[in-house]
Chain A
Amino acid sequence: MTTPLLEVSDLSVGLRAGGVAYDIVRNVSLTVDQNEILAIVGESGCGKSLTALSILQLHASPPLQITGGSVVYGGSDLVRKTKKEMRGIRGSEIAMIFQDPMSALDPMFTIGSVLVSAVRAHQDVSKDVAEKIALEALADAGIEDPRRRFAEYPFQLSGGVSQRAMIALALVNSPKLIIADEPTTALDVTVQAQILDRLRALKNERGMSIMLITHNLGVVASVADRMAVMYAGEVVEMGAVSDVFAKPQHPYTTGLLGAVPRLGAGASDLVPIPGRVPQPDELPAGCTFADRCSRVVDSCRATRPDITVRGRVQVRCFNPVS
C-alpha cells in the first residue's frame, strides 16, 4: 500500500472560550490517496466543514482550536506548522473551494486581479506570466471566455461561472489536493452536474486528489471513489463508495440511504431517522447515535465505540448491520 497523500489521525477540534470547552469534531481519522476523490457526507452541523477548514487551519481561531490529533501531509504534521509555513501550503499544496461562490469572491476586485495575486503569493513570476497562468486556470476550470471573465467583477458573473472562477483560483498554483466544501450546493441542478464533471475531469487530467464535502448522496455516488460518513462530529463509517452503498453497516448510514427519495417510489417509502442530532455540548457518554438507533444494545449507552475495520469498510458501531 502506498502512503496516502493526506492522513488525518484522531483529529479533534473544539470550542474553547470563557469557561466553555467541548469538542465539535471528535477523533476523526481519514486518508486521501493520490488521485482519488474522497467524499465526506453528513447532515448540516455534523462537523464535516470544520474538519475540512481545520486541515488548512482556516477555522475561526479563537474560539475554535485543534485539541488533538495530527494532519500529516508530505511527511510532516500540518497541526505543528507555523502560520507562515501554513500560508505556503494553502493554495500551492492544498487548495480549497467554498460553498457560496457569490460571497466567497471579493466584490471590489476583478477575477483576474485576485487570480494574479494568488499566483504571485506562491510563484516568483512577472505580472505577465502570472496573467497567463491565471487565464489558463480559467480555461481549465471550464470558463469559455477567459479573457473577458478575467476583467470582470464577481457581481457580473452567474453562480456557475463564479464557482468556476473559484475552481480556477484553486488551480492556479497546481495543488495536489483540492478540498471542495459543498461546491455545488448553491447552484442550479444543471450547473451542479457541469461543475462535478469538471472536478472529476481535473482529477483525471492532473492526477490530483479531491476531498469533496457534501450532504448530497447523489453527488457522492456519481463522482467519489471513497466516502466517509460523519455524524455528530465523528466518522461513523468509511469505505469505497460501492461497498458502503451496497452494504451499509452503520445504522446511521442505513438510515441516510433510506431517507433518499427514489424514482418510482411513493412518499411513504421514505424512511426518516427518528429524533434529532445531539448538540456538541450534550453528547452522551456512549455512542452518539444510540438515542436514535433501532439496533441499540446495552454497551452502546455505556461506552463509546471505536472505529474498527469490518470487512472492506471501517465502522464505529457495536452492533452493525451485517
Chain B
Amino acid sequence: MSTVVKRVLLTLLLLQLSSLAVFAAIRLSGGDVTAARLPASATAEDRELFREQIGLNQPILTQYVDYLGKVVRGDLGNSLTNNAKISTLAVEKIRNSLILGGAAIVLVFGIGIPLGMLAAFRRNTWLDTSISSAAVAGMAIPNFWLALLVVWLFSSTLGWFPPAGAGGFKYLVLPALVLAAEGIALTVRMTRSAMLENVGQDFVRTLRAAGLSESRVYFKHVLRNSLLPIISLAGLRVGQIIGYALVVETIFGWPGVGQILVNGVLRRDYPIVQFFSLLLVIVVTLGNLAASVGYTLANPRLRK
C-alpha cells in the first residue's frame, strides 16, 4: 500500500516539476505568439498591447501561479493563435493520436514477438539472418528518413497508400508502420535472445523428459518465460512511440497531439504547448506504471 501511495505522490511531483519546466522553457526560448497572431505590419506598440492583454508581460512566476490555479479549476485555457478552447481541441487530437499510437503498439508486439520467435526457431539459417539484419536496420534507420522512404515507395511509386492526411484505414498504415519500426526491431531482438536463452534452461530438458511435445514446450513454457523482459520494457516502448509521434505526425500530417504540439512550439502558442506536453508526460508515466503492474502480474515471484 505504502509503495502505491509513494508512487502516486512521486508521479504528482513529477507532473508539477515537468509543468514548470515546460512553462519556463517555452517562454525562455525566445520569440512569442505575436509573430504568428498579428500581421507582419503590426507595430511594436500593437504587439506590446497584445502581450499585455493576454498577460505575457507579467513575471514568469506570476504567470505560472495563475496558470496552475486555472488548471486546478479545470480551465485549460484557449489557443493563443485561434482562440479555440483547448478542452475541445484535446478530444479530437487525443482520439487521433490514440488511434495512431495504439496501432503502432499493436504492430510492435504483434509483429515483433512472432518474428523474434521465428528467428529463434530458425537460428543461424538464412531466415534468422534476414530477420536479424532487418531488425538492426530498423534500429539504425532514423524514422524521418524511413518515413520519406515509405512515402516514396508505397505512395509515389506504387500508389498503394496516400502519402499524408487522415481518413480511413488507408491513411493509418504508413504512419503506424514508421512509428512502430524501431519498436518492432527492438522487440524482435529481445524476443529472439530471450527465447534462445530460455531454450537452454534446465526446465526445458525436464519438460521434454516428461514427454511434452516440442510445440508445447516452446509456445507455452519457453515463450511464457521470454515474455517477462518484453513486458518489463513495454513502458519504454510506449514512451518511445510518444516521442516519435511528434516527428511522424508532422511528416504524415496526422492531426494528433504530436502535430498540434509541434505547431504550438513553432508559434509559441504557450497554452497549447503547456497542455499537450503535460499530457505526454502523463501518458508516459501511465505507460510505465502499466508496464510495471503487468510485470508484477506476469511474474509469479512478485504476484505471490
Contacts and interface: CB of A to CB of B under 8 A. Distances in A.
Bind each other:
yes
Interface of A: 56, 58, 83, 87-92, 95-96, 98, 100, 103-110, 114, 117-118, 121-122, 153, 155-156, 166, 169-170, 172-173
B82 to A, nearest CB: 54
Contacts of A107: 203, 225, 300-301
Contact of B216 (A91, A117, A155): A117
Interface residues of B, number: 23
Interface in B179-215: 201-203, 205-214
A273 B214 CA distance: 44
15 contacts: A58-B205, A58-B208, A87-B211, A100-B202, A104-B206, A107-B203, A108-B300, A109-B224, A114-B210, A117-B212, A117-B216, A121-B213, A153-B300, A169-B206, A169-B210
B304 interface: yes
B221 interface: yes
Taking chain B's interface residues, is the majority helix, strand, or loop, or is none over half, making it mixed?
Answer: helix
A90 B209 contact: yes
A152 to B, nearest CB: 9
A251 B220 CA distance: 50
Interface string B206-242: 1111111110100011001100100000000000000
Contacts of B221: 106, 108-109
A92 B211 contact: yes
A173 B224 contact: no
Contact of B206 (A105, A108, A110, A172): A105
B222 to A, nearest CB: 9
Given A107-B225, A107-B300, A95 B206 contact: no
Contacts of B211: 87-92, 118, 121-122, 173
Contact of A103 (B201, B213, B300, B301): B201
B225 A90 contact: no
Nearest to A99: B202
Contacts of A109: 221, 224
Given A117-B212, A118-B210, A155-B301, 12 more contacts: A83-B214, A91-B210, A91-B211, A98-B206, A98-B209, A104-B202, A106-B225, A108-B225, A117-B220, A118-B212, A121-B216, A153-B304
Which 3 pairs, one residue from A and one from B, show the smallest C-beta to C-beta distance? A91-B211, A96-B209, A118-B210
Q: Which of B206, B214, B225, B300 has the most CB of A within 10 A?
A: B206
Contact of B210 (A95, A108, A155): A95
A90 B213 CA distance: 10
B209 A121 contact: no
Nearest to B206: A104
Nearest to B301: A155
Contacts of B201: 103
Contacts of B207: 106, 114, 117
A95 B205 CA distance: 12
Contacts of A98: 202, 205-206, 209
Contact of B213 (A56, A87, A104, A170): A87
Contacts of A153: 300-301, 304
Contacts of A169: 206, 210
Contact of A91 (B209, B214, B220, B304): B209
Nearest to B228: A108
Contacts of A87: 211-214
A103 B203 contact: yes
